[in-house]
Amino acid sequence: MLTRKQHQLLTYIDNHLNTDGVPPSYDEMKDALGLKSKSGIHRLITGLEERGFIRRLPHKARALEVLKKPQNMIDDPPAKGGFEPRIVDASFGVTDPAPASVSAPAAAAEEMVGLPFYGKIAAGTPIEALRDSSRTFEVPPGMLGRGDHYALEVEGDSMIEAGILDGDTVLIQRTDTADNGEIVVALVEGHEATLKRLRRKGASIALEPANARHETRIFGPDQVRVQGRLVGLVRQY
């Protein structure tokens, strides 16, 4: 699996090859990804090569060949209403309040960002009650967009058909609004927090699981409050 920066670089290289017939230079790649030095590009290229997505051609200057594309490449988006999780195979994760050295080979080209880690998302516990500023979860900044974010550990199998497994850590952008079909953290009737796909139909709100063994729950508009939307996922091995 690839980090967002690796996805961006692979997409840029592929598009450049398709339009210009030659790979971009390291300076062009650096500028396209907004990195400060070419050393970050070298690490990203090495990561893509090790994972079999590109090949460096010998005896040729800046010669790269794209061997395969990931399914959730930027120029090949998932179907409308779907979620294609950006999964990072990582050795980084929850840190204690005391400073610690963090090993993050999957994100070597990026400095890490510490998000508030609120523990497990489970029915009966609102997000407000989970807030604990003493714990953080470190992720590559390329996985995050604008705004505030937090991390939660998934408990249960209600979203497995969306690629979200028990024990995964989901990255949530804090918001009180979401588009129809997005996966959100929803607070039900003021006391139950759950991770589900949001569907609106008329005045009703449906919280839809991604597991055929679980039932969709229907609520009135005043019974559900969005507390964030899913933007990324980290799976540790």
Question: What local confidence, expressed as pLDDT, does residue 134 receive?
Answer: 66
Task: Give the residue with greater pLDDT, 71 vs 144.
Answer: 144
Residue 230's pLDDT is: 92
202: alpha, beta or left, given left = phi > 0 and alpha = psi -120 to 50?
A: left
Average pLDDT of every residue of the chain: 77
What pLDDT, on the 0 to 100 scale, is given for residue 70? 60
Mean pLDDT highest for which of 1-5, 51-55, 105-109? 51-55
Q: Which two tokens stand for residue 142?
A: 């390329």
CATH node for 4-66: 1.10.10.10
- Global pTM value: 0.55
* Confidence bin at 81 (pLDDT 50/70/90): very low
Core vs surface per residue 117-129: b (16+ CB within 10 A) or e = bbbebbeebbbee
State the DSSP string of 76-130.
Answer: SPPPTT-----EEEES--EE-SS------GGGTTS--EEEEEEEEE-TT--HHHH
% of the chain exceeding 90 in pLDDT: 21
Burial class for 104, CB neighbours closer than 10 Å (0-12, 13-18, 19+): middle
Strand (E) or helix (H) holding 203: none
Return the amino acid letter for 132.
D
Specify the range with the lowest mean pLDDT, choosing from 1-5, 154-158, 197-201, 221-225.
Answer: 1-5
pLDDT for res 128 = 58
Q: Are domains 4-66 and 87-236 of this chain identical in fold?
A: no
Q: What is the pLDDT of residues 186-218, one digit of tens each?
A: 988 887 889 999 999 888 999 999 988 888 999
Q: How confident is the model at residue 229 (pLDDT cuts 50, 70, 90)?
A: very high
Question: 158 an active-site residue?
Answer: yes
| Residue among 39, 120, 158, 201 flagged as catalytic | 158
**Residue 80 structure tokens:** 């409308």
Distances (CA, A) of 195 to 1, 50, 76, 80, 185: 23, 34, 26, 19, 5
Write the pLDDT tens digit of every residue in 133-192. 568 888 887 788 788 899 998 888 889 999 999 889 999 999 999 999 999 999 888 878
Contacts 24+ apart (CB under 8 A), 50-57: 51/2, 53/2, 53/6, 53/10, 54/10, 54/13
- Two structure tokens written together for 141: 């900044």
Q: What would the mean pLDDT of 24-34 be, rounded to a whole number?
A: 88
Sketch the domain layout of the chain as residue ranges. Answer: 4-66, 87-236
**DSSP for 19-45?**
HHSSPPPHHHHHHHHT-SSHHHHHHHH
Tokens 């070298």, residue located: 42
CATH top-level class of 87-236: mainly beta
39 is catalytic: no
